[in-house]
Amino acid sequence: MRILLVAATAAEIGPVVTELRRTADRGPRITGYASHSHDVDVLVSGVGMVATATWCSHALARERYDLAINLGVCGTFDRTLPLGTVVHVVTDRLAELGVEDGDAFLTVQDLQLLGDNDPPFINGRLVNEAPPAIATLNRLRAVDGITVSTVHGREQSIACVTERFSPQVESMEGAAFMYACLVHGLPFAQVRAISNVVERRNRAAWQLTEAIEHLGSDALRMLGDV
C-alpha cells in the first residue's frame, strides 16, 4: 500500500519517522520511508491552510496513493477532552471564510457565494463520510473541528466561534488537507492530539510533548493495522 502522511511541522511527526526506514527523497518537502509492507511518503507541508493545500495538491497530482493521514496537534474547546487525547476529526469547517457585518459574521454560504452542498462540502462542512477501516482509528473519539489562520485566544472571539459552529477542536491545517483529499477522491483521516485548551494563550498549561508522543504511538499502530 502507498500511504501519504502529512504534518505541518517535523516535530509533530518526529516520533513516527524515527520508527520508519528511510528509503528516498521524493521531492520538495517529501521523504520516502518503508513501514511493514507499505511505502510511506512523509510530507511536511508547513504551517497554515495555504501551505497545506498547496503541497498536498502538489503531492497528490504527482503520485497515486491508497491512503492519506494528516497528523498534528490541536486545541480543544471541549474541556471534557483531556489534554493528550488523540482524536479523529471527521468534520471540519473553514471558520474564517466570510465577512464581518458589524458584530455579525456571514459565511460564504450566507452570502450565497458557495452553496451548502457545493462539492466537496456537505451542509457547509467538509465531511469524511467513509473513513478507512483501521482498527486504531476506529477506537479514537470522533470530533468536529474548525480550521483557522488565527488561533483563538480572546474570550469574545472564542464565545463567538463556539456559538456559531459548536466546534470541539481547532487547527490551522485540517480543513485544507481534507479539501485536497476530497477533491482527489482519496481515502483519508485527519488525526490530532490535543495539546491545549482554546483560551487566552497560556503555554505553561500546554501538554505539547505528551500530545505529540501519544499522536506518534497511535500513528504507528495505525500503520501496523493497515
| pLDDT on residue 166 | 96
Give the number of domains in the chain: 1
Which residues lie below 8 Å from residue 3, measured CB to CB, with a gap of 6+?
35, 38, 39, 40, 41, 65, 66, 67, 68, 69, 223, 226
Please state, in angstroms and rounded to a whole number, the distance separating the CA atoms of residues 185 and 190.
Answer: 15
Quote the DSSP letter at residue 205: G
Residue with C-alpha cell 520508519? 20
Q: How many CB atoms lie within 10 A of CB 28?
A: 9
16: enclosing H helix or E strand: helix 10-17
Kindly write down the DSSP assignment for every residue of 55-66, as one continuous string.
Answer: HHHHHHHHS--S
27 has a pLDDT exceeding 90: no
Question: Which pTM value belongs to this model?
Answer: 0.95
pLDDT band (50, 70, 90) for residue 103: confident
| Boundaries of domain holding 123 | 2-225
216 has a pLDDT exceeding 90: yes
pLDDT band (50, 70, 90) for residue 37: confident
Length of the chain: 226
The number of C-alpha atoms within 13 Å of 5 and in the hemisphere containing its C-beta is: 30
- Strand 67-76 with 188-197, pairing: parallel
Section 114-139 average pLDDT: 95
What CATH number is given to the structural domain containing 57? 3.40.50.1580
For 146-176, the pLDDT digits (tens) are 999 999 999 999 999 999 999 999 999 999 9
Section 109-127 average pLDDT: 94
State the average pLDDT for the chain: 95
Please state, in angstroms and rounded to a whole number, the distance separating the CA atoms of residues 206 and 2.
Answer: 34
Of 71-75, 103-107, 138-142, where does mean pLDDT reach its minimum?
A: 103-107
| pLDDT on residue 43 | 98
Nearest CA to 85 out of 214, 181, 186, 172 is that of 214
